Every structure is written in C-alpha cells, then in structure tokens.
A and B are shown apart, each in its own frame.
Chain A
Amino acid sequence: MLRLIARRFGLMMLIMFVVTLLLFLANEADPLRVARSVLGPYAQPEQLDLWIQQNGYDRSLAIRYLDWIGRLLVGDLGQSVIYKRPVGEIFWTRLANTGILAGITFVIMVLLALVLGVLAGMAEGSPRDRFISVLSIATTSVPEYASAVILMAIFVFWLGWLPGTSSMMAGFSWIEMVLPVSVLVLYGFGYIARMTRASMAEVMTTHYIRTAVLKGLPYKHIILKHALRNALIAPFTVIMLQINWLLSGVVVTEYAFGYKGFGALLLEAALRRDIYVIEACGVAAVFVAVFTQTLGDLGYTYLNPRIRFK
C-alpha cells in the first residue's frame, strides 16, 4: 500500500510538471507579450525592452521556467497587474473563501446525495425510489444561474429572510453563506444521488447480498456492512470529480451572489489578462484536480480490495 501511495504521488508530480510547463509556455513564451500585458497597450518599444531586461525576460526559456517554479515553491506568485499588489495577498484569501464555500457545500451535498441514493437504491422501483429519482433529475437540470435567481426571488425579495449578496463586507457571516451553498447543493447532489442509486440497486441484486440475507442478518446490518461499501465504489470517483467543479466551476454562483471567491478572481484575471494571477490560479486548479484524483485512486483501492495492489 505504501508503495502504491509513493507511486501515485510520483505520477502526480510528473503531471504537475507537464501542466506547469504548458501553463508557462502559454503565458510567458513570448517576453514581448508579457511586457505588453504588464505595461499596457500604450507602452513604447523602449519601455518594453527595458522592462524585459529589468525583469530577466532576456534569459532563456528553460532558465526562466526554473526560476518561476522556484519562486512558486517559496510562495512568490508575482505582482498583480490590476491590483498592483503581490498576487499572494489576493490569491490566498480568495482561495480560502472558495475553500469555505466548497467545503460546506461538499459535506452537505455528499451526505445528502449518499443518503438519498442509498435510500432509493435499497428499494428499486418503490414510490420512495421514484420520488428521489425525479427530485434529483429535476434539481440537476436547473442551471445554477436559474436556481440562484429563483431562490433569490423567494427568500430575498418575497420572504425577505436572507440577504441577497454574500460579499462578506462585515467579515464572515453564516447567513450570507446559505444561498450560495443551497444553489450549489441543489445543482450538484442529483448527479451523485443518481450514481449512488444505480450502484446500490445493482449491489442489492447480487448473490452476496442474497447470502447475507439467508445468513439471517438483520436488514440494517446487511445494508450497512454488506451493501454500502460495495455500492460506494462507483459514486466515489464521481464524488472526487465534484471537488474540481467546486473549485473552479462555482464562478457563476460566486458572481450571482457577489461572493469574493477563487472562480471570480480567475474570471477577472482572464478578462483583463492579468497573467501572474492567471498562472497562480491555473496551477492551483490543476493541483487540486490532480490531488483529488490521486486521493480518489487511493480511496478506490481501499474500497475495492479486488484491485488492491500487492
């Protein structure tokens, strides 16, 4: 198992190397373009040349890449063009904000999806199963921007129970988290619930469940000890994929509620060509993606001993 973990992390490093290289090439291959995007469209050629020399952009590509990686590793993310401040100052708070939103959403969404999925799959074809299935399809098929508007219309404008924005102007506030989390959970849980349901329903028809029933085990015991673990194998991969979406795919929700998160930061940076911010966000997004996949693979081998390596 230790060797498997070592191998998986080795592979992860390799992927990170390739991706950072691609990211670097896409953004910084041409020093002139970098200078132009930092100094703006009205900078003179002499100014650009001077900037290139001052910032070491006249060195070879390989040296510049290694230099960039080195600075990334010690936490120096460069200077933001828009904010005229070190990227680190903005980036980490934004990442943390999204982390909080994603974390809360993830816990609620996964728990809800698994419970509903298992409840539906346990009794395939029952009214309970039908209700849960229809509910999860319905909520998943409403996009976030639509559900954000609908929820706002109900809870903000009509009932007036909740604030309409989540900008956290006066520090962190739970009440401002309710709407963004609800929108994300509504959109995201259906998919996992459907996967869990299908997987659970399949497991319930297997011979080893029959064995467990005919061993005389209580129903609760059969579900919890025999069915659940096998039923979780398929949805587990999907759940790990959802973490990606929670980091960078939540930009619509963040925008809708004015939440100062990572997605919003990346979008702004991309629109205004703030290359150091783009790079930092890109590396972070890829790291999370690769890391969750590695965790996913490890968890998968834990859940499914048949593919466990010797």
Chain B
Amino acid sequence: MPDDIRPDTDVPVLEIEDLRLSYYTRAGEIPAVMDFSLKVNAGESVGLVGESGCGKSTVANGIMRYMGKNGGIVGGTIKFKGRDMAEMSDEEVRRLRGAEIAMIYQEPMAALNPSMTIADQLTEVLTEHEGIGRQEAAERAAEMLDAVHIPDPRRLMDSYPHQISGGQQQRVVIAMALLSRPSLLLLDEPTTALDVTVEAGIVELIAELSEKTGASLLYISHNLGLMLEVCDRICVMYSGEVVEQGSIDSIFSWPKHPYTHGLFGCIPLPHADKNARPLAAIRGQLPLPHQRPKGCYFGPRCDFFVQEKCGQQQIPMEEVTTDNDPVHRVRCARWNEVDTSTAMIAGEAREPAPVGEVVLEVDNMKKYYEVKDSSFGAMLSGQSMRYVKANETINFRARRSETIGIVGESGCGKSTFAKVLMGLETATDGEVRLNHVNIGAIPVRSRTADQLSSLQMVFQNPNDTLNPSHTIGGQIGRVIKHFGIEKDPAKIHERVMNLLDTVKLPRAFAERKPRQLSGGQKQRVGIARAFAGNPSTVIADEPISALDVSVAAAVTELLMDIQREHETTLLFISHDLSAVRYLADRIVVMYLGQIMERGTTDEVFAPPYHPYTEALLSAVPIADPEIEKRRIVLEGNLPSVLDPPAGCPFCTRCPRVLGDICENERPPVQIDGEGHAIACHIPLDELRQVEPVLKVPNELEKKRSLMLKQARAKKAAAEAAAAEAAAASARARAAAAEAALADELVADADAAIKQDQT
C-alpha cells in the first residue's frame, strides 16, 4: 500500500462532487453523466440503480478513470480517501486500480483471460501490487479461493476459465478483486448473467466478504430487488442524472420522484395481480442523450409534468426532510406538491378471462439428443452412444385463454421443449396434441399452414429475430401471406395496419427498418408477427428478459391484452419467477429436463413446495421491504446433462435430501388436491409443514407497518428533540447555577468590601 493512502475511518472512502462525464462522438460532445454527487463511507454499501443507458456503468468507469479514447471527465471532482484523483498521475491511478479500488464485472467468462490459468491471473495481482514472490502469491490466491467457497482451490488454480462453471468464474473474479484487500469494490451487475440460485449464493458471498474485509461497495444494477438485499443507500439514475437518492428504507417506503415511483409500479411484486392490480408501465421511452428535453428529462413520461415548473430549466437536487433520513434527496420540481404515494401505482383492474376447452395436451413427451462418444474408453465399455435427456416425460394440458408459466434455470430443458412444440425438433417419444392433432413428430417443414399459424412464438431477443434488411410492414405482411390468411395485397396491408394498432405502434412504422426501432418496439413487432395468423397458442420464450424494467412492464401488459382479446393460450417460458407468478394461471417448474412441480400459481407459491421450488422462490430478490423471506441458498452447480443423477435430478443440490433413495430412485409424482403434482421422495405431509418462503403482508398489515415505521421515525425525532431540549435545559440550569454562584461571589465581595470600609 502506498504510504500516502492510509485507511482512515473519518474520511469517506469515495467522495464525488458535481461529476460530469462525457463522450465525444462525430455528433459532438454527449454528456453521459451530469451533476453526480455521492459519498461512500467506510464499510458502506451504496447502490446505483437505473435502466440501460442511464449512465450507471459510466460512473464506475469514471471512478476507475477508464473512459476509453472518446470519453472523459468534464467537470467535478472524485476524491478517493480524501485525495483528488484528478491530481494523480496515470502511474498513481494504476497503483490504485486492483489494489485499492477493485471491480467485479457482469460477465465473468468474458472478464477472464481465456488463455491464462486461473493461478496466473490471480497471482499477478499480488506480485504486481505487493511485490511478493510467486510462491507466496499462489498461497494467498489459494486461500482467497477458499474464502470464496470454491471447493478444491489448488486443482482449480491450474484450470483455464472455460473449464469451470459460470458461478465459479464469478467467484474467481470476486477472489481476484479481493486479493489485495481493496477499500472500495465496484460491482457492475455482478449477478445479471447468472442463474437465480447461483445469484443468491454470490450475493451472500459478497455480503459476507465485505463484512469481513470492511470494503465499501458500490453496487450497480438494474434490479431494485437486489438493491434492497445488498445496499444501505441507493441512487436512482435516469438519463445521466441521479433523480433520487437516500437510504433503502426511505426510498422503498417513500419514493418521491415520479420515476422511482413508476419503477415500482413496473415490477411484478408478489401482491401485484394481472387482473385485480395489473402493472402500470411508464409510458414512452428513455430519451437518447442528444435528444434530452429541456428541463426535467423525465418530463415527457411523467404524469405530473407542468410546463412552467418542470419544462424551463435544469431541475436541481433538493433535500427531502423525511424524519428519519437526513440524506434523502430528489430531483423533482414538484416533489412537495404532488403525493406520489397516493397516485396510481397499479393499472386498471380487469375481469379475469374465462378459461375454455383444452387446446394443447402434452403426454409423456420425451426429447433425447444422441451424443457420440468416440473416446477409446467408451468404445471398450460399449457405450459409444450416450443420450442427453433434454426433456424427460413431460405432461401437461393447456386450455383456451390460459397462461402456463414454464420456469427453470438455464439448462433445464425449457427451450428444448419450445423447440419440440414448434417442430424445430421432433419428440423422441410421447405425444404433443394441438387441437387434438398429434404434432410432436411432425417437423416444422411438414406442418400445414394451419398448424403453423395456430402455434406461434415470441422470441427472447428482439434484436436478432427481425431481418435487418426488410421493413417492419413487409415482415408482418409476409407472415400473413404465407399462412394464406389474405391474398390480396390491399387486404394484407390493411391487416398489417390493424396489427400495428393492436401492438400500439404508430402505423408509420410499417415503412421502417428494425434498426430504427428501440428494443421494446422491436418486441412489439415480434408480438404482432406471432399474432398475425390468429394463433390458438403462442409460446413466449423469455419475451421480456432482454428488456428494461419499464419497457418490460409495457410489453407484458400488451401481451396480456392481446391474449385476452384473442382468447389465446400462452406458454410463458421464463427464469423470472416474479414475472411468472404475475402472469401465469398455472406453473410448471422444470429442472434438468424433468418436471419437478406443477400446479396453479397459488398452489406452487405456497406449501407444500418441491424443495427446488422452495429454493428458487427464496433466490428471487424482491423489491419490497415489507416482505419477509426465508433464505435458502443452494450449494454446487447444475449437474452435467450428459451425466445426470440416477435418481432425483435435484439430489446433488437439494438441502432436504433424504439419503440414498434420492440418489438412486426416481421420485414418485405425488398429487396434492386437484392438479398440484410434486415429484419428490419426501412425503407430502412433511412438505406441507414448511413455512411459506415469502411472507406477504396484506394491505392492513402493510399500512400498519408503514405507520409503525413513521411513528418510530417520529419517536426517534422527538427523542432527539427532547434530548436536545434536555441538554438545553441542563445548560440553562448550569448557567443559572453559575449565575447564582456569581451572584454569591459578588455578594461575598460586596460584603468583604463593606467590611474593609468599616
């Protein structure tokens, strides 16, 4: 450690004032971050939250002074432990990086050098910054790997990054960041690329380690739920500005900025309901940096926008005096005029759609992939052909107007299942009946136009699914023509227009190319294309996971509106339990190609749980401080699909594993009530006895808790005031006593003088 930087608890670790960061492009200077101030104290954990393009990662790069060739710090100061970083030379900044300020990245695979061993990548941090020998550095690296709970660290040190799983890669990156005990850790979406159960483990690890090392954290994420779990304070960013900052408690309980408030309305929290309390999307979209409006950047999307107050000049940050939080600040001109908390946080309530006849039946469907093993050992043992069981005995039914949620982590076989339904793969065994016709064995090219049009798909990444060189109208029209719905060009055009109306896109978009559209708009086109042939069933494969929170809410609502109108059966494939809970009527939980649990949404989200569902529920971060959650963190990784356990697929990670029976025998499917099925060896009665993972307070409890919180805050304030008053009165008394003493002294003196005179 350089001598001039000593740990000092009084000086904030990081102090940023009025920071301005810009990128220079051919179009000129583009401000990426404006008027950014932040203080991070020792041991504190601060969150930066916002949607993509809001400048949160730019802040992290600015702190690291890593802005690339076309970016730079335009104004303001960044002080690290009291030292102005602008005054440091490049060499000094280099010595800070990795030693005093370390970073953890979004994609661990990309962040590690593919052609260097883990050992080399870890030890160089120490040999560089602390000047110790390779041997000692390797010792310390192994210790650190042990601290991040990597089993058998010495063996792992000799591996290359591609040989270990994503969760382990992220642990290696964390170990690398913590090796030389930094005082500030920047985490840029550290868990976004990971599965939820892996994410839960990483989040726990970061909390544990920061506690142990005393490092301050600057946590960057788009996920408000995660922020709630990991941060003390958060800054909400919008279009390059902090719009609101304060303690977790006050931001989550009393969000003052309409944008923050709107974000909460977009998140499918457990008490949201697609019929009674639908999501309320924020209208419009994030302005591009060079198209920011005058005045408040959020103005065009804000329900409380008033031209005279909001649209004239830059809105300054203002102090909000909530009683218990002196640092709650907001950038809104009308924050004390409008009460966002009473404003609509939910959309309009709707009647639940009636469910019709069975449309899709899947019976014992199996999909195996053959893998040729040409190794010598396999030839000797006669097992030269192995099978990847991507789907194993899948059973379920879907009715008209119903939404089925299919949940599982990566590698659970949910996408294979979609491929079989679509005919991109054919089933190895079993039946898939759509409108009573078995289509499981019919590849997509042999399906009739009717079969094709009645089963359509909305894909995950809207950027990749639209042909970049065709117009939007052309692409939708082609589907209509291809399915033989209309032949006449004029009528096709009319239908395209209607579809654009349906997905709430302007008709003029028919002439545009995909590159002129935003992500959310492209996904709307994807939905229009899927619904072009009046499908009876639509498969939506992670349709919103690539979209930002506010856009995702709008797309979700749109999808449901269209579904309601067309009485479509929707298969909603997702890893996001919150979204599935909100959307689905019934849920299928998959793990390693098998169905673990199946039932209505209420059944799946309440005991009895399958132990995997239980863990999955616990892993999802929820952006509501009122909800209490039981923590279950899974150990280990998903087993290889080539070599799954012989018994229950979940037995390698299950916290409630019974013993040999789980490892060797297929679990029986136990039926609880109507159609709630759980594949587990643990008896239902025992499964029933667990506490619910989530404790969702009802409205009354919520109000009470809020009032309690307010009362407590008031009490604290009153006590503080009383203490102050008491102190004041004590001072008064002391003063009086002093005065009295003085009087006495004067009297004594007078008496003495008088005596002298006499």
**Residues of A that sit less than 8 Å from B by CB:** 125, 206-208, 210-218, 221, 225-226, 229-230, 233, 303-306
Contact = CB atoms under 8 A, between A and B. Distances in A.
Given A211-B105, A214-B66, A305-B114, A221 B160 contact: no
Interface of B: 64, 66, 69, 94-99, 102-103, 105, 107, 110-116, 120, 124-125, 128-129, 160, 162, 173, 176
A262 to B, nearest CB: 36
A213 B128 contact: no
B114 A216 contact: no
What secondary structure prevails in chain A residues at the interface with B? helix
B128 A214 contact: no
B103 A214 contact: yes
Contact of B116 (A206, A207, A214, A225): A225
Given A208-B112, A306-B114, 5 more contacts: A207-B110, A207-B111, A211-B112, A214-B103, A217-B98
Nearest to A308: B160
A142 B98 CA distance: 48
A208 B114 contact: yes
Given A208-B114, A229-B115, A218 B128 contact: yes
A125 B94 CA distance: 24
A213 B113 CA distance: 12
Contacts, number: 76
A233 B115 CA distance: 10
A130 to B, nearest CB: 15
Contact of B105 (A207, A226, A229, A233): A207
B754 to A, nearest CB: 82
B176 A215 contact: yes
Nearest to A305: B160
A212 B66 contact: no
Given A216-B99, A218-B94, A225-B124, A207 B107 contact: yes
Nearest to A209: B113
Given A207-B105, A207-B107, A306-B160, A214 B97 contact: yes
A230 B94 CA distance: 23
A218 B93 CA distance: 11
Contacts of B69: 125
Given A207-B105, A210-B66, A306 B113 contact: no
A169 to B, nearest CB: 49
A125 B69 CA distance: 10
Nearest to A226: B113
B162 A305 contact: yes
A141 to B, nearest CB: 30
Q: Report, nearest first, the 5 A-B pairs whose CB atoms are least far apart.
A: A216-B98, A216-B97, A215-B98, A207-B110, A208-B113
Contacts of B103: 211, 214
A222 to B, nearest CB: 10
Contacts of B116: 225-226, 229
Contact of A305 (B64, B98, B115, B125): B115
A206 B114 CA distance: 11
Contact of A221 (B95, B102, B115, B128): B128
Contacts of B129: 216
B137 to A, nearest CB: 13
17 contacts: A206-B110, A207-B105, A208-B113, A213-B66, A214-B66, A215-B128, A216-B99, A216-B125, A216-B129, A217-B94, A217-B128, A221-B124, A221-B128, A229-B116, A230-B114, A305-B160, A305-B162
Contacts of A225: 116, 120, 124
B370 to A, nearest CB: 20
Contacts of A305: 114-115, 160, 162
A217 B122 CA distance: 12
Contact of B124 (A208, A210, A213, A217): A217
A204 to B, nearest CB: 11
Contacts of B128: 215-218, 221
B525 to A, nearest CB: 31
A34 B95 CA distance: 76
B709 to A, nearest CB: 40
A229 B162 CA distance: 16
A234 to B, nearest CB: 13
A293 B99 CA distance: 44
B111 A230 contact: no
Contacts of B105: 207, 210-211
A165 B747 CA distance: 127
Contact of A208 (B98, B99, B110, B160): B110
Contacts of A212: 113
Contacts of A221: 124, 128
A304 B125 CA distance: 23
A226 B110 CA distance: 13
A213 B98 CA distance: 9
- Most chain A beta-carbon neighbours within 10 Å: one of B96, B102, B115: B115
A145 B143 CA distance: 63
Nearest to A219: B94
Nearest to B125: A215
Interface centre among A125, A210, A216, A217 (most CB of B within 10 A): A216
A188 to B, nearest CB: 27
B587 to A, nearest CB: 36
B140 to A, nearest CB: 15
Nearest to B90: A219
A216 B66 contact: no
B113 A230 contact: yes
A304 B116 CA distance: 9
A265 to B, nearest CB: 42
Contacts of A216: 94-99, 125, 128-129
B111 A213 contact: no
A125 B70 CA distance: 12
A214 B98 contact: yes
B97 A230 contact: no
A131 to B, nearest CB: 18
Nearest to B375: A310
A20 B162 CA distance: 41
A211 B115 contact: no
Contacts of B96: 216
A229 B160 CA distance: 14
Nearest to A217: B128
Contact of A304 (B66, B111, B115): B115
A155 B96 CA distance: 55
A157 B657 CA distance: 89
A304 B64 CA distance: 30
Given A207-B110, A305-B160, A213 B115 contact: no
Contacts of A233: 115
Contacts of B97: 213-216
A215 B101 CA distance: 9
Contacts of B125: 215-216
A215 B107 CA distance: 16
Contacts of A211: 103, 105, 111-113, 173, 176
Nearest to B93: A216
A303 B115 contact: yes
A184 B351 CA distance: 81
Nearest to B186: A214
A199 to B, nearest CB: 13
Contacts of B66: 210, 213-214
